[in-house]
Homo-oligomer: A and B are copies of this chain.
Amino acid sequence: MTPILYQECIDACLKSMNACNHSYVASLKEYDLAVLRHSIRLDRECADICSFAIQAMTRQSPFVGSILRLCAEICDACAAENSNHIHIHCQACIDACRSCAEACRSISEVVEVYA
């Protein structure tokens, strides 16, 4: 039902939200969670904007371009922070966030052209 244009980006946002929330929960269970405090905060930030972006795409928001640019910015920051940590769940975030940032930027450029 969602225009094909968005489907790939919705999937990328869902994977990123998933990875971030998984890492958030896992980090809060770690013995050494003190070193993960920034990562925990960014995981939540990233999951929240991904969730917002997903719904914006499904309702074909007229502001999808700007929303996805914001999502890409936060995904980049989350990937950067998680790359400071060797935990498997942090490493999984890096890939998911980077792919999501890339997908968001691709769409926001296409939307720009059509606007």
Which residues on A are within 8 Å of B, measured CB to CB?
A: 1-2, 10, 14, 17-19, 21-22, 24-25, 28-29, 31, 33-34, 37, 40-42, 44-45, 47-49, 51-52, 54-56, 58-63, 66-67, 70, 73-74, 77, 92
Q: Contact between B37 and A33 (Cβ–Cβ < 8 Å)?
A: yes
Q: Report how far A62 CA is from B70 CA in the complex, Å.
A: 12
Contacts of A33 in B (CB 8 A): 33-34, 37
Main DSSP-derived SS at the A contact region: helix
Q: Contact between B18 and A40 (Cβ–Cβ < 8 Å)?
A: no
Contacts of A66 in B (CB 8 A): 70, 73-74
Contacts of A54 in B (CB 8 A): 14, 17, 51, 54
Q: Report how far A102 CA is from B58 CA in the complex, Å.
A: 22
Q: Contact between A77 and B55 (Cβ–Cβ < 8 Å)?
A: no
- Distance of A115 from chain B, by nearest CB (Å): 12
Q: Contact between A59 and B2 (Cβ–Cβ < 8 Å)?
A: no
Contacts of A74 in B (CB 8 A): 63, 66
Q: Contact between A58 and B1 (Cβ–Cβ < 8 Å)?
A: no
Contacts of A10 in B (CB 8 A): 14
